[in-house]
Amino acid sequence: MPEEAITEVDQFDLVEFAKQVRPAAPTYETLLSENAPSFRKFLDDFREKVRGIRESGKKVIVVLGTGGTFQSDETDAGRAPTASLRESFDALGLPEDPSVHLMLCDLMKLDSSQMTVDQWRFLAEMIMELEEKISDMYDAIIVTHGTDTMAKGASYLSLMLKGFPKSIIFTGSQEPARKSGTDAKDQMERSISTAKLASSFNRRIAEVMVCCGLRVSRGTWAVKLGDKTVNAFGLWNQPNQDFDATDWERASRDGTLHRLAPALLDFGTGKSRGGMEFASHAISYDHKGPYDPFTQITSPANLFPASMTDKSTEAFAVHIVQQRVAILTQLGSATADDSLIEVALEAAKRGKIILFEAPFHDSTVLTGTYKAGARVRESLPNLQRRLPILNTSPATFDAKTNYLLHRLGIQPLGQSEGLGVYFDDNDLRKFYDQMEQNLVRELV
């Protein structure tokens, strides 16, 4: 290698370079200044446009577009979300439903990979304005979204719009709406059916849901299963075998329905008897509380999980030191190398945020199942708190962690070269306690 190249590498700072890289998507502030005005015009005209439709008894469903494959076209550089919602819907050729009227509005046109907390915060706040200004004029909301980050977006909105009084249904497709033979038509028909059902009960099923495939799940339960099947989403902690109606009835009676996480609605098996009355009326509303929005999430989660295997203790320690929050992915049902556990617990004792998560969509962490790693379940002698071991999906895990750090206003107590950022014990107790709470009926 030439000497000048070596010198150039020696002087290069990747972190400083990263600071100069422009974000791929418009920031929250840009969306507010450039995209919000057209949405507010949509709201201003809404009441007059649907007044007669509303009086006729039709369901009014608002469809908000964010882009993704659903709105994509083929370009020289690959698929990109260039189509409007109207163009996409016109291409679907949906059958006429005399009981429903759709109101379409483009909020943004972004690839799923470009969706971050900035875009989800903007989406949440526009939905808040929608509810504030025209609550009496619509029944449900459908959000078209790219599938790769749909579970995380639905998780963020579940938390940011806690207690929202209507259903918000995320959907998308594996093929563009304007492509022949697309799955987008079936996905949208199922989403519209879900919106109708959710707004038809005596009490609304006010959930953030994911309807992309044959099963409708709570937003904080959804996990993408693959990109080669139209049945793209399943549920975290879903039993491997399908539930039939008898299983659902038993789970409803014995109180395990929410833990086993069957779909809120199942379009696939024909055995669900109306989704067990839409999964026991969205599990009997016991998760509902007052509408309590919080959207002031100003930075990404920046979480980088580390699996508890095949790492030296030194490398593992370096990783933990560099993280604001260390998410440690266990193996199976809570197996882990004892030496790595020892390093993690020492870090927790000294004020690092340490969280343990389940590794698979059908996992439930049961500490102590194996001797290896069983120390995770023990309380540290000089620590007045338990370390959470959470069974929720990675997408919800990230969203909930970031949400609570902002909502609780937790800031580092200090920073040291040997430990990185560390936190006050009282703040950690509050944070860990909230992480273990079922805030919006996510699986914990």
Rounded to two decimals, the pTM is 0.91
At 40-70, the pLDDT tens digits run 999 999 999 999 999 998 999 999 999 999 9
> 3-state DSSP call for residue 355?
strand
At 66-103, the pLDDT tens digits run 999 999 998 888 899 999 999 999 999 998 899 999 99
Closest CA to 316 of 344, 338, 335: 344
**Mean pLDDT in runs of 10 for the chain (444 residues)?**
61 90 91 97 96 93 96 90 94 92 97 96 98 96 96 97 94 93 92 88 77 87 83 74 60 62 63 53 58 95 92 96 92 80 91 87 69 66 62 91 97 95 93 90 79
At 251-308, the pLDDT tens digits run 666 766 655 555 677 676 544 544 555 555 555 555 557 899 999 999 999 999 999 8
DSSP string, 144-170: E--STTHHHHHHHHHHHTTT-SSEEEE
Other C-beta atoms closer than 10 Å to the C-beta of 136 total 7
Q: What are 415's strand-pairing partners?
A: 421
CATH of 28-284, one of 3.60.15.10, 3.30.70.580, 3.50.50.60, 3.40.50.1170: 3.40.50.1170
pLDDT value, residue 16: 92
Give, as one character, the DSSP assignment of residue 56: T
Closest CA to 141 of 124, 155, 156: 124
Q: Is 286 exposed, middle or buried, given 0-12, 13-18 or 19+ CB atoms closer than 10 A?
A: exposed
Residue with tokens 């895990």: 397
Closest CA to 121 of 108, 132, 111: 108
Q: Where are the domains of the chain?
A: 28-284, 306-435
CA angle 323, 329, 330 (to 5 degrees): 140
Q: Each residue of 315-346: b (16+ CB within 10 Å) or e?
A: ebbebbbebbbbbbbbbbbbbbbeebbebbbe
Terminal Cα-to-Cα distance of the chain (whole angstroms): 53
CA-to-CA distance for 126 and 267, rounded, in angstroms? 30
pLDDT value, residue 9: 76
